[in-house]
């Protein structure tokens, strides 16, 4: 872990060995597999279980926590793309969904790897310079996961199967940023004067649209929630744009970073912390950085009209 400023560090919870879990046959997106993972949550080490309860009850200052030493199983070579096939025991998938079920309901988003509940994040040569999760050469800009989406996740889970000491997942919590904003900027950020473009992966070639005006900050003034995307969000007027630039500059200054290692699970409160990633240099030799991502909503009811099973299928664009 590396501190880039005086931003609060995510706490690290060292996990003792997990008990041997009975992992059902795949696919890991089946309801049988997800249910079994939910039942297995009662068997996770108490220190991990309690850390998740505490995290959900009261978001920490950093907006994130690292669970260290989680089982990932035997690994093949890092896949060459997020959708490439690979053969391995489903240990990491079961671990990830067990934690996800303790926090809420794991969901997929149809444009994200076809709606997979677990997505592989690996570097690709074709996306090295783009603002996407499979990039490597660029700084991934700070963002709320799916900031534009009406059913964006409450929690973002990133499980490291294979790490890279030079690749930092960056974090910036509104709890840390707020004291560095003046009252007029805060007032503006609480007003519905901001619109967010849809990520290109959700458009499938359709024309992009800006979402309805919304506030960046909501809730309690001293500990608000935040929805922010440095790349896709704009103000609807000059004062709002100025406030957004001020917030973006504060986030760039007030942040920290975590170089995840194998067995680390970073749990991010998507309402509190924005995240990004530093540039790094993959080798494309089968041993590059490999994360698995899961996104969790509080419940499934809110998206019932825009969901097929656990896959959210909201349509964007014109």
pLDDT of residue 138: 87
Alpha-carbon Rg of the chain, whole angstroms?
Answer: 19
pLDDT in tens, 227-248: 999 999 999 999 999 999 999 9
Confidence of residue 136 (pLDDT cuts 50, 70, 90): confident
pTM: 0.95
Contacts of 136 (CB under 8 A, 6+ apart): 123, 128, 167, 279, 280, 281, 282
pLDDT in tens, 77-131: 999 998 888 899 999 999 999 999 999 999 999 998 899 999 999 998 887 888 7
Task: Break the chain into its structural domains and give their ranges.
Answer: 11-300
Beta strands in 71-208 (DSSP E): 105-109, 119-121, 140-143, 155-162, 169-173, 194-196
Dig out the tokens for 253 from the structure. 């200054």
133-135-139-142 Cα dihedral, nearest 10 degrees:
-10
Residue 47: DSSP 8-state: H
d(CA 162, CA 223): 35
pLDDT in tens, 142-151: 999 999 999 9
d(CA 12, CA 261): 12
Dig out the tokens for 109 from the structure. 């988003």
- Is the confidence at residue 206, as pLDDT, over 90? no
pLDDT of residue 3: 40
Average pLDDT over residues 29-55: 97
pLDDT of residue 130: 81
The pair phi, psi for residue 234, each rounded to 5°, is -135, 155
Distances in Å between the Cα of 315 and the Cα atoms of 104, 173, 318 are 24, 30, 9
User: In the CATH scheme, what architecture does the domain 11-300 have?
Assistant: 4-Layer Sandwich (3.60)
For residue 7, the Cα-to-chain-centroid distance in whole angstroms is: 19
d(CA 203, CA 181): 34
Contacts of 311 (CB under 8 A, 6+ apart): 107, 108, 109, 110, 115
């Amino acid at each position: 872990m590396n501190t880039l400023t005086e931003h609060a560090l995510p706490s690290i919870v060292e996990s003792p060995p997990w008990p041997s879990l009975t992992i059902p046959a795949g696919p890991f997106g089946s309801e049988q597999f997800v249910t079994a993972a939910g039942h297995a949550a009662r068997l996770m080490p108490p220190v991990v279980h309690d850390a998740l309860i505490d995290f959900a009850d009261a978001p920490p200052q950093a907006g994130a926590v690292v669970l260290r030493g989680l089982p990932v199983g035997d690994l093949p070579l890092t896949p060459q793309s997020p959708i490439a096939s690979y053969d391995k025991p489903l240990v990491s998938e079961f671990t990830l969904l067990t934690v996800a079920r303790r926090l809420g309901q794991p969901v997929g988003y149809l444009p994200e790897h076809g709606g997979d509940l677990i997505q592989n994040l690996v570097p690709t040569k074709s996306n090295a310079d783009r603002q996407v999760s499979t990039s490597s050469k660029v700084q991934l800009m700070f963002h709320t996961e799916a900031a534009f989406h009406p059913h964006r996740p409450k929690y973002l889970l990133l499980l490291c199967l294979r790490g890279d000491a030079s690749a930092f997942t960056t974090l910036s919590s509104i709890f840390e940023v707020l004291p560095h904003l003046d009252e007029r900027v805060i007032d503006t950020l609480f007003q519905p004067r901001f619109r967010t473009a849809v990520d290109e992966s959700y458009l499938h070639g359709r024309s992009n649209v800006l979402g309805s005006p919304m506030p960046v900050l909501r809730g309690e003034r001293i500990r608000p929630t935040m929805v922010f995307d440095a790349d896709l969000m704009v103000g609807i007027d000059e004062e709002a744009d100025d406030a957004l630039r001020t917030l973006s500059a504060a986030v760039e200054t007030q942040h920290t970073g975590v170089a995840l290692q194998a067995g680390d699970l970073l749990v991010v409160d998507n309402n509190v912390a924005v995240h990004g990633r530093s540039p790094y240099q993959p080798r494309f030799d089968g041993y590059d950085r490999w994360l698995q991502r899961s996104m969790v909503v509080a419940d499934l009811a809110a998206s019932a009209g825009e969901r097929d099973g656990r896959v959210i299928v909201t349509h964007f664009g014109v």
